[in-house]
């Protein structure tokens, strides 16, 4: 949800504290628009992040609920290059989005972010993202690290204006985090100890 983090996928480079340098997109223009959205479905944490440690965030659009996110107005080529970088592929090839747009989903491979999802439309423009090919029921759940939770909370504040207490309550109840994190411990981890 962080515009500054997305900029590394578009312009290339290594984010502060990151372990990976991104090559960037062929088209390095910044998004023309960024808006907060609520996607139908659920955020959960699974596997092990090589960047953050602990579980990574995934999206299951088939679950009940809403997942706060941020929609960026990018070109199809930029979306393809951003997705390629998350799929650990070299950017530079446009993805065929037709199946994701018509069926709502298209599995490009078995990897963690190799499934395209079209979660609806905003002002007639498709809202697309990528996630794992498995469902929540099949996921290898894993609690996220404190650093990753801080990143999420910062994104929720930037994109949706959520305060630390609201973010902590939300994050502590996501599958993978639930049972390992409480709202209080997330609040302490994200630096919002005042509870506001």
pLDDT tens digit sequence for 71-119: 999 999 999 999 999 999 999 999 999 999 999 999 999 999 999 999 9
Taking alpha carbons only, the member of 44, 101, 49 closest to residue 67 is: 44
pLDDT of residue 118: 98
Taking only the tens place, the pLDDT of each residue in 141-161 is: 999 999 999 999 999 999 999
What tokens does 48 get? 């092990």
pLDDT band, very low/low/confident/very high, at 194 (cuts 50, 70, 90): low
What tokens does 35 get? 């808006």
Q: 164, 33 in Cβ contact below 8 A?
A: no
Q: Please provide residue 158's backbone torsions phi and psi, each rounded to the nearest 5 degrees.
A: -70, -45
Contacting residues for 61 by C-beta, under 8 A, at least 6 apart: 39, 40, 41, 104, 105, 117, 119, 131
pLDDT band, very low/low/confident/very high, at 139 (cuts 50, 70, 90): very high
């Amino acid at each position: 949800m962080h515009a500054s983090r997305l900029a590394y996928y578009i312009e290339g480079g290594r984010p502060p504290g990151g372990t990976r340098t991104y090559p960037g997109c062929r088209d390095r223009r910044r998004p023309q628009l960024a808006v907060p959205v609520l996607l139908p479905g659920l955020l959960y944490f699974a596997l092990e992040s090589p960047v953050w440690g602990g579980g990574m965030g995934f999206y299951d659009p088939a679950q009940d609920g809403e997942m706060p996110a941020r929609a960026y107005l990018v070109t199809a080529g930029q979306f393809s290059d951003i997705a390629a970088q998350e799929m650990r592929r070299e950017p530079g090839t446009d993805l065929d989005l037709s199946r994701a747009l018509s069926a709502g989903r298209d599995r490009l491979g078995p990897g963690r972010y190799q499934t395209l999802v079209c979660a609806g439309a905003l002002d007639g423009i498709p809202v697309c993202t990528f996630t794992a090919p498995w469902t929540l029921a099949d996921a290898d759940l894993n609690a996220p690290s404190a650093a990753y939770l801080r990143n999420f909370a910062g994104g929720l504040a930037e994109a949706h204006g959520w305060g630390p207490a609201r973010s902590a309550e939300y994050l502590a109840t996501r599958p993978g985090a639930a049972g390992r994190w409480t709202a209080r411990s997330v609040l302490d981890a994200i630096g919002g100890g005042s509870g506001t």
